[in-house]
Amino acid sequence: MKKKRMDWWLISIIGLAAFLYFYNIGNAGSNEYYTATAKSMTANWKSFFFASLDPAGFITVDKPPVALWFQALSVALFGASDWSVLLPEALAGVLSTWLLYFIVKPFFGRVAARWASFIFACTPIFVAVTRTNNLDTMLIFTLLVATWALMKSIHAKKITWLLVSFALVGVGFNIKMMQAYMVLPAFYLFYWLAKNEGWKRKLKQLTIATVLLLITSLSYAAIADLMPKDKRPYIGSSQTNSVLELALGYNGIGRLTGSAGPGGNRMMDAQTGGEMPQLPNGASMGQLPNGTPSMGQSPNGENTPPQLPEFKGGQPGGIGIGETGNRSVLRLFNQQLSGQISWLLPFVLFSTIAVVLSVRKQRMVTLSHKAAVFWLAWLVPMMGFFSIAGFFHRYYLSMMAPAIAALVAIGSTLLWEFYKEGKQPWLLPTAFLTTFSLEAYILYQNKASISAIWIVFIGLLGLASFVLLLAFRQHMRIAYYVKVASLFGLLLMPFYWALTPILYGGNSMIPAAGPQTTFDGRQDGRMMGNMGRNEANEKLISYLEKNYNGETYLVATFRATEAAQIMLKTDKAVMAMGGFSGNDPVLTTEKLEKLVKNGEVKYFLVSGFGGGQSNNEIVQWIQTHCKEVPQTEWKQSNDAQPSFGREGAEKLYKYEG
């Protein structure tokens, strides 16, 4: 029996991925909203099952619990820290890189599989999101395992693997809901094309798989929605206290229409959820004013990325329309999004051409061709969605990374074959020239934050690749090295973009990559501009704990982010009355009065933004029935910035009965 040799190139790629995802993650910061939830989930089984933001089980986060179960288990094993909640996502990133190799290899060989894994590992937005405890990396890993099972169902000719595949997509639904379903067109199309069965039998098998998909997807929603509402937490970010409504609305159609976004076209503060002022000179988020230092430079000579001007009362970091730009066919090529994921899209176009020509050449659609169609069917609907969707974050684009990586690797293999055979030999050089040209354009978009020499250098690389491949057509060995060097060249700037979260830090709540990104300067997961905030929190918590008398909740806030920050510094529950946005209709004045009179909550922290329009009556009740606590008792008098909100507008109220 022939002994299998170790693939040292794959091992090296996995090592690179581990470095990108794991290096210094203990200091990378975390999304406090999910970190506090993971900590609360270790308190009891009820909080664990429902992914309750607080250990008392008042309200859940705005996502299903599956990915957070892994974060909670890590917290249970290693304690609550940034490192422990980032560990599952970093592991999922490494495993995804490894798994993509084994998905691509059976169809296109070892070399293409290596390139697919390498390109995937270097995708800027995937690196950025994997270094946070946002849930997308776990979702991508789950969908890649589902993809492997789908391919296995064709090779093994067993429906069992098809059922496993669709069930795993259902698990993905219970990670980020409708986002998981974005891959379904690829799954249905591939199985229909690749399965060597009659159409009636295939239809029956896909129908069974779809039923299992729906059962798996809706299992958590059914349990939660059928349970008496007073026996479980309120479903955060839903308007009717329903998981199904959350899935179809806020985490479903609301993303397409924009109604799920905070205020539609308004920019919202990443830390508080409050409305942000617009950027100067009409710029959009991600744009920099002229005169910003170039890559690797700063006014004082330190190795820091350029910064956007500070906004009054808070750091930049808005979400919504400013983060992703306007809806259009070319949206993925705008300044906000292009550097995150779009570097290699021209090569994907030439890969598609190569697949079509390969079908014509072989005069048949092989299984490998069908695998290429699978990745196209994964990518194209996502490109369409992100071009027209009303509300999403840039890190959602990481969903496109596996397909782009696979298609570029597949295309490089097919285009090289055409080049060697002398059939359409211009395709490969033109693919490189076009892709390098887009990369130079992306650098030009970011000329305020990167030296012009890089724009010229990348443009010259594209021209050199084009000329050399045409010049050495009769010298295949030299041409091969030019091709390999050109592929590495294509990854040069994406790799630098991917390194920026490691080199400079990033926004752990709304991750993005690149020197132009709106960094908030997080070194330990908290905003540098909030150095006074930590002291204020400590004094606030000290006051609350000193006056704590066994209430269920140490204090009540409106926004979950405020509650999370406090709970990460104490073991007591904090009530987030309005959920993530501060606007969830969780309480009525009657319910609040009952909670207060039962001794479950005594203190209320109300920020300058109140509780949102739907909770104005709650704010009025608090102001009418509670007494304001003097700020000198709970807030540092010399705070540079307020604890929550802006301009010192937050107030602490006490119910005295």
Residue-wise DSSP of 372-430: HHHHHHHHHHHHHHHHH-SS--GGGGGGGHHHHHHHHHHHHHHHHHHHHHTSSTTHHHH
Residue 285 near residue 322, CB atoms below 8 Å? yes
For 229-249, how does the pLDDT look when each residue is reduced to its tens digit (9 = 90+)? 999 999 999 999 999 999 999
C-alpha span between 119 and 406 (Å, rounded): 8
Give the β-pairing of 651-654 and 627-628. antiparallel
Task: Please tell me the predicted confidence (pLDDT) of residue 320.
Answer: 44
Geometric angle at alpha carbon 282, from 280 and 287, rounded to 5° = 75
- For 310, counting Cβ atoms within 10 Å of its Cβ (0-12 exposed, 13-18 middle, 19+ buried), the class is exposed
Q: What is the pLDDT of residues 343-399, one digit of tens each?
A: 999 999 999 999 999 999 999 999 999 999 999 999 999 999 999 999 999 999 999
Rounded to 10 deg, the angle between the 159-176 and 199-226 helix axes is 30
Give me the pLDDT at residue 295, please: 39
Q: In which residue ranges of the chain is pLDDT below 70?
A: 1-3, 261-321, 517-536, 608-614, 637-648
For residue 177, CA distances in Å to 41, 245, 263, 398, 510 come to: 20, 11, 22, 16, 19
Which pLDDT belongs to residue 245?
Answer: 97
pLDDT at 597: 95
The DSSP H or E segment spanning 263 is none
pLDDT number for residue 258: 85
What letters, b where the CB count within 10 A reaches 16 and e where it falls short, cover 258-270? bebbbbeebbbbb
Cβ partners under 8 Å of residue 118, min gap 6: 13, 16, 405, 491
Helices 367-388, 82-121: axis angle to 10 degrees equals 120
CA gap 425, 185 in Å, rounded: 33
pLDDT of res. 229: 95
What does the pLDDT read at residue 608?
62
Q: From residue 368, how far is each of 106, 360, 403, 405 by CA, in Å?
A: 9, 14, 15, 16
Q: The whole model's pTM is what?
A: 0.89
Residue with tokens 């990133």: 93
**Which pLDDT score is estimated for 231?**
95
Q: Containing H/E element for 12?
A: helix 8-22
Report CA-CA distances (Å) from 135 to 26, 42, 90, 142, 508.
18, 18, 11, 11, 12
SS3 144: helix
Domain boundaries, the chain: 528-654
